Structure 1
Amino acid sequence: MPTLSSPTPSQAVATHLSLSSPIELYRGLQQTPEQYLAVARNFLQEQLKKAAKLKCDLPDSPEDLHQWVIDGNARTTQAYKQYLDTRKQGQPRRYFANRSQALFFLRGVAPTKLVDGSWLYGVLPQWQDLRLHTLVRTYLEELGEGEPEQNHVVLYKQLLAQHELEDIESLPASHFVQGAQQLALGHLAQDFLPELIGYNLGYEQLPLHLLITTYELNELGIDPYYFQLHVTIDNADTGHAHKAASAVLDNLPVTGNAQMFYRRVRLGYLLNDLALSSTDVINSFCLEQELYRVLEQKALVARNMHSDFCRIEGRTINEWLSQQGQIGDFLAALEKRGWIHRDEDPAQSRFWQLVQGNRAPMFGVFSHYELQLLHDWIAGEWLINDQPNRPKKFVQPGRNQSQDNSARAGDFSAEQQILEKELRTLDGASRTRRLIQLMSPAHHYKPAGLLATRLFNQLQA
């Protein structure tokens, strides 16, 4: 059973945590959530105070929510139609000028996507309460009902792995606020149920940026399936957007203070506006700055690893890399000496030939994402002018297909085998509690969590 109450004094080891540390809270709620509940509560209370200062566009009456969902969906699809019309008229992509920016976006939103659906985790212990049925079903669908090819976190992890974007540790703290909110709501559902319902209402609406992102990722040869799945599953007719509105009405008190409940729903809805948005991440991209960041990081381990045979503008490579802040000058020196030819096909640059290709002297030094940054920076105007005929050098194959579970054997299925053996020793209530534990945001995408989700899903049948 997930812990939903305050930790004991001996457990509250994280109460010293600063409210301005969403990264530590994000990690703590995944690794040892019971130790971070007090901090998570304070964090949510502070976020809700900020939300109270924002303007809310929800209807005054909750009975109007379903029409509000339909109207919002109509505005979004109409705006998307206008976007498609502009593209047909020859306008460039709205979000992603190049593949580098698209990959930057995928990495930048990863902390949120890797806890997708987590705000609903806390409703699982009440799975037999009909008022919460739509929320429970939504969480199970976020988890792909235990099937890895539909589990949202599994899909996003695969997408990150395809493009070598797994390293998100160096992202700024602002990128973790949304995920920290989601995890906090998920682990404190007992105390913040109206806010959770409101947050779910906001998050499950179909945004314009999702439609455009799906279109432009596909155009750039990047698998858009994760985003396409959200376009279909969040539909306003029978999907998560509709269910989110129903959840408000299903839980509206008939004997308590319905107005107070709805006010709390509205505050939870506004939590969506406090964190970094997808478009914020997209708009923060600067190709040159991101390339400098990557190369500065690379220089930390590359210092003193080069011979002194080659000199650029009278300085050895080790000398160029010896101090931070020299990457821009180093690249300018390479360009001056003819190692880099900007605004041309990168294949014509000697420096590119050193890093790209199986026989390249520096093969393996740069990740897929890092190579893409360097490629697009060198290409510059050439990339824009020759885009229709440019070969997609780094296009990865489509999304990975999950392995056939019936073929599991040996150590690869050890977790599932151990879980199945453990469950046979438990009574019905204990068995359900154990399944819920394994369906937490930290575990549901792993083999035991996927099996637990499939077994729990059978209880809903």
Structure 2
Amino acid sequence: MASLFAVLLVAGAGVAILLKYCQLQTILFRKATRCPVTGKNTKHPSWENSAPNARAEEEAKKKAETNSYKRLYYQVQNLEKFPEVLPFARQTLVSLLRQSVLNAKLQIHSQFNILKLEDDHSPERLAAFMAGKRHKTHVDWAKYQQRRQAGGGPEMFADREAARQWVKQNAPLQLVDGAWVARVHNVTTPYALRGITKNAWQTYCEELGDGDLAKNHCHIYRELCRSIGYEYPHQNDVDFIHPRHGLDNDRVWRASAGHLLISLFPNDFLPEILGFNLHYESLAPGTLKAARELPEFGISGYYFAVHISIDNAESGHSAMAEATINTYMEHVRKTGIMDVKEAWRRVQAGFLLSEYLDGDDDLGKCRDAVAGMIHAKAGVAGEVHCTSRARIGGRELTDWFSRDTLSSVSSSSWKDDFITALTRSKPWVYPGDSERGLLLKELSWKGRMFGAFTQNEVQCLRTWIDLLDDDPTRVEEKYWKLVGRADNGNSLRRNAMPETASLMSAGVDAATMHPAFPPQMAIPVAGLSSSSSSEFVPFSPLHMAKSRKVNLDALLPLWFMHPCILEQIVMSPYRTTMPLGSSVLRLLRAESGYMPESAGVAGMDEQRRDPESPIPSLTELGLDICRSNHVAEPTCLKDVLQSCGTAGGSSAAAAASVDFAYVVLSWAARPIENGTFLLGLSRAFLDLEKFVSTAANQGLLLSRQGCEGLANMIERKQDSFDKFPSLLKSELGGMEMFNAGYELGRHKIERLLVQEISLDDRD
């Protein structure tokens, strides 16, 4: 094997050096006389029997990979039905991240490779880098405009049918617009990070029209498809991925799955999500061209025109994404929650993943580059490697590189067969681990083949080998090593609950992990009197005797938990493409402390808001309650539940409150199954908010500023709840489960906060 690469120097190296290299022999395959493809025993197998199906094998592998992405696309949008997919989903995400970084290392000399920003983050350097990318896009666009003005025709689409097919094939991706940040801001997010994740989740809200269905990007694209004759089921329907729809673009399915996966584990991959967001919200040449050319064929280009404006780098999503990264990196520096260099490399990895999914680079392209490189060198090698006994795929090197072989078969067949055989040639190549194999060692300094390949060619070989992952159980370890994590990600993997059997076990802590599917308590609908009613009638306001004091240990678990009730309903974009889902999104925006909806888009106004006039979120109001009552501020939901539920240190009501909080977390994790019930339950907690607001007005519980903020939030939420009955009747056919959720929630809240209970009463 060593002499194989040595002889490739024949065109530029001396005979003495060649003879020295030829002395390097390998024991690999000395006894191999069986072709690994045909299985025939022969010393010199005929070329026709070597590996004629190598390309077919690659195509089959590619098809299987695409089908895997399609299944993930369906399952992730129905996660509560397929929680067992989470370990594979995580593995796929990490594999894509690793591929993205390795691919970028292969193209390190590219003008706008973010890896050139090295190992540390600088707001100024990042701004200059992004400005350079935008400038190139603007220059390319100006040249395109000049060509069109000079009489040139459309460059993206040959005719109307080509334009229709392009819109059609991109449907899986565009119909999940915003998904990459869908889960980034949730009830389990550490409180110190919520300002950062809130800014990222704002992008998701604006992609979905801030709850205005007409402005919802997924809705706009669905209407675009409908206008040109394509009608699809919702993306959560298994029929959406059926071949009958003709959605067969491999790259699009990979990208679509990637957009869903990147946000799936927000507590473990926040830097990657922020980096992904920065790249994807950058102005893309294809968006500019599509906005111009589609109308030329009688097809609306408004979906793409909207993205050109809303993603602008001064006040739009691109500016928001860059500012959020700068804020996050400053937080890392100040708190030391992570090594700064590691955090920046992970931001880069997320950026590169979006770039990778946006293009057509993959293992196949890298494979072809390696095969072409070796084939070109083999053509000038001649017969000087005749002393070698090394074999590749059971074939002697003399046979692989003979003039007769190279002239008698097509170059594509030779490349396919050779690269397939080389892939299996241990100890020279260990798939997924270039450092382990002998090939790269011999090509490096002090190796006996140093100089046989240029530096770029060596990097190409290295990347190809590293992308040949044959051990999926080690892919996460390899990724953490790539981004320089000190413990190779062991701490993250311990928290990730990768074992399928544990995903739905009682040991899953839904207060710290997202997503999590602990066993859920059956909803006791039969015992609720209002569950058979078709109308909603709210109960009288919660009331507590003046002689009693609010039990904070019982209140705080309920307060900090209840933002979870509706948040997962909108974590798949398709659920916001109907009026009810849009109304839920508006309600969640109020709970999260965003400015009220307007006719326009907030963009950077949200981040530039006057700090003296805050709009608090439910979580921030909970922290206000703690400060106002001299209670130690928790750092996350788990802190609240632990401190209030500690045995012996709390009242029975507090312990029962913690129990109920975990029950609600399990219900909230299943929004498809429990959606209407959760809406009613959330309405009961609006009554709790009104109760707290009343107490605050009496000088209890909240600061003056917090009291004003809660009153404004209640008003906004009430507006959404007032719309729910008619929407539930029109979309879901009734109010029964809504009423059941409301009644159960009210009874629980009253029992925990208003009535006296003992430990024996806990259920």
* Band of TM-score, shorter chain: 0.5 to 0.7
1:162 maps to 227
2:311 maps to 234
1:194 maps to 271
Asked whether the equivalents of residues 132 and 250 of structure 1 are also in contact (C-alpha less than 8 Å), the reply is no
Alignment partners' CA distance in 2, 1:452 and 1:185 = 23
Which structure has the greater CA radius of gyration? Answer: 2
Call closer, same or farther: CA 1:108–1:430 in 2, change over 3 Å: same
Call closer, same or farther: CA 1:91–1:139 in 2, change over 3 Å: same
Call closer, same or farther: CA 1:177–1:452 in 2, change over 3 Å: same
1:135 maps to 200
Q: TM-score, normalised by structure 1?
A: 0.61
2:569 maps to 438
Aligned positions, number = 307
1:27 maps to 74
1:454 maps to 586
The structural deviation recorded for 1:62 is 2.8
Once the two structures are superposed, residues 358-417 of structure 1 have per-residue CA deviations (whole angstroms, 9 ceiling, x without a partner) of xxxxxxxxxxxxxxxxxxxxxxxxxxxxxxxxxxxxxxxxxxxxxxxxxxxxxxxxxxx9
2:342 maps to 260
Call closer, same or farther: CA 1:260–1:116 in 2, change over 3 Å: same
Asked whether the equivalents of residues 180 and 262 of structure 2 are also in contact (C-alpha less than 8 Å), the reply is yes
Once the two structures are superposed, residues 47-100 of structure 1 have per-residue CA deviations (whole angstroms, 9 ceiling, x without a partner) of 122112122611334322122222222221221111111111100111111111
The structural deviation recorded for 1:235 is 0.6
Alignment partners' CA distance in 1, 2:361 and 2:103 = 19
The structural deviation recorded for 1:122 is 1.5
Call closer, same or farther: CA 1:439–1:224 in 2, change over 3 Å: same
The structural deviation recorded for 1:431 is 5.0
Call closer, same or farther: CA 1:39–1:420 in 2, change over 3 Å: farther
Q: Any residues of structure 2 matched to 1:331-342 within 5 Å, and which?
A: none
Q: Any residues of structure 2 matched to 1:45-444 within 5 Å, and which?
A: 45-55=94-104, 57-58=113-114, 59-60=117-118, 61-63=120-122, 64-125=125-186, 126=189, 129-167=194-232, 169-170=242-243, 171-172=247-248, 173-252=250-329, 253-254=332-333, 255=336, 256-275=338-357, 277=359, 429=560, 431-441=562-572, 442-444=574-576
Call closer, same or farther: CA 1:166–1:75 in 2, change over 3 Å: same
Structure 1 unaligned segments of length 5 or more: list them: 1-17, 281-416
Asked whether the equivalents of residues 570 and 585 of structure 2 are also in contact (C-alpha less than 8 Å), the reply is yes
The structural deviation recorded for 1:264 is 1.0
The structural deviation recorded for 1:138 is 1.0
Q: Percent identical across equivalent pairs? A: 27
Where 1:124 maps in the other structure, the secondary structure is coil
Call closer, same or farther: CA 1:108–1:127 in 2, change over 3 Å: farther
Q: TM-score, normalised by structure 2?
A: 0.38
Alignment partners' CA distance in 2, 1:235 and 1:145 = 18
Alignment partners' CA distance in 2, 1:419 and 1:106 = 43
CA RMSD of aligned residues (A): 2.9
Asked whether the equivalents of residues 280 and 355 of structure 2 are also in contact (C-alpha less than 8 Å), the reply is no
Where 2:575 maps in the other structure, the secondary structure is coil
Structure 2 unaligned segments of length 5 or more: list them: 1-63, 233-239, 363-533, 543-554, 596-763
> What amino acid does structure 1 have at the position aligned with 2:158?
A
Once the two structures are superposed, residues 74-133 of structure 1 have per-residue CA deviations (whole angstroms, 9 ceiling, x without a partner) of 221221111111111100111111111111111111111111111101222149721223
Alignment partners' CA distance in 2, 1:47 and 1:227 = 26
> What amino acid does structure 1 have at the position aligned with 2:97?
L
Where 2:357 maps in the other structure, the secondary structure is coil
Asked whether the equivalents of residues 185 and 198 of structure 2 are also in contact (C-alpha less than 8 Å), the reply is no
Alignment partners' CA distance in 2, 1:244 and 1:101 = 33
Alignment partners' CA distance in 2, 1:185 and 1:418 = 41
Call closer, same or farther: CA 1:418–1:275 in 2, change over 3 Å: farther
Alignment partners' CA distance in 2, 1:27 and 1:419 = 34
The structural deviation recorded for 1:452 is 0.9
Alignment partners' CA distance in 1, 2:211 and 2:309 = 19
Alignment partners' CA distance in 2, 1:429 and 1:187 = 22
The structural deviation recorded for 1:35 is 3.6
The structural deviation recorded for 1:181 is 1.0
